[in-house]
Amino acid sequence: MIPKTLTEAKEGVKYTPSEKDKVEVKHKLSDDKIQKIREICESYNNDQGEIINILHETQSTFGYLPAEVQEVIACVLGVSAAHVYGIVTFYSFFTMKPKGEHPISVCMGTACYVRGAEKVLDELKKELKIGVGETTPDKKFSISCLRCVGACGLAPVVMVGEKVYGRVSPDGVKKILDEYK
Ligand code: FES
């Protein structure tokens, strides 16, 4: 039986997509986006055990995982929206908000933490006037925290997009930001 609504999906009705099947959930997504999500799920055989990989790929495609995207994934995989939400909020690499043009990631792994990552993070928050998981109103910067990024010798580490900055001090934060203004 095919769930026609999110409620049905929540009740555990397994959805098996086919060409003519329609996913009807309370969302504001375009058909194209729904189709893309279905393709991603299908590439993992709509396997609930692959949900982390599915969420990863969906986030890479859309940049973030808003509630309406989570609802479609829940419906397609036949799991509850609460289950998907629980995973998205548990792992720090998933985000429900769009990132900025220059996403800033502060490593909070042990080496970076003991070498002052928290002070660097505080300075970033002060300079940009946003908190962790937030984006500046002009959509230029967003801040997130990561676990060890594998560059402990450079601790504390900050990444702006793919670029890695090592041995960052609170005083050096402004200089980094100026590169992107
Ligand atoms: S703890 Fe930050 S790079 Fe390893």
Q: What is the pLDDT of residues 129-178, one digit of tens each?
A: 999 988 999 999 999 888 898 999 999 999 999 899 999 999 999 999 99
The amino acid at 145:
C
Q: Cβ(159) to ligand 1 under 6 A? A: no
β-sheet with 158-160: strand ranges across: 141-146, 102-107, 158-160, 163-165
3-state percent breakdown (helix, strand, coil) of the chain, nearest 5 = 45, 10, 45
State the pTM of this model: 0.65
Q: Cβ(107) to ligand 1 under 6 A? A: yes
Alpha carbon of 144 to ligand 1 centroid (Å): 14
Q: Give the pLDDT confidence score for residue 26 in this predicted structure.
A: 52
Alpha carbon of 113 to ligand 1 centroid (Å): 8
Q: What is the pLDDT of residues 75-120, one digit of tens each?
A: 999 999 999 999 999 887 888 888 899 999 999 999 999 999 999 9
Confidence of residue 1 (pLDDT cuts 50, 70, 90): very low
Closest CA to ligand 1's atom 1? 109
Domain regions of the chain by residue span:
6-90, 102-178
73 is written with which tokens? 């994934």
Q: Cβ(111) to ligand 1 under 6 A? A: yes
Q: Give the pLDDT confidence score for residue 177 in this predicted structure.
A: 97
Report phi then psi at 158, rounded to 5. Answer: -125, 140
Alpha carbon of 62 to ligand 1 centroid (Å): 27
The ligand 1 atom at the shortest distance from the C-alpha of residue 154 is: 3
Task: Please tell me the CATH code under which domain 102-178 is placed.
Answer: 3.40.30.10
The ligand 1 atom at the shortest distance from the C-alpha of residue 156 is: 2
Q: Cβ(152) to ligand 1 under 6 A? A: yes
Task: Tell which residue, 2, 1, 13, has the closest CA to residue 80.
Answer: 13
Alpha carbon of 106 to ligand 1 centroid (Å): 9
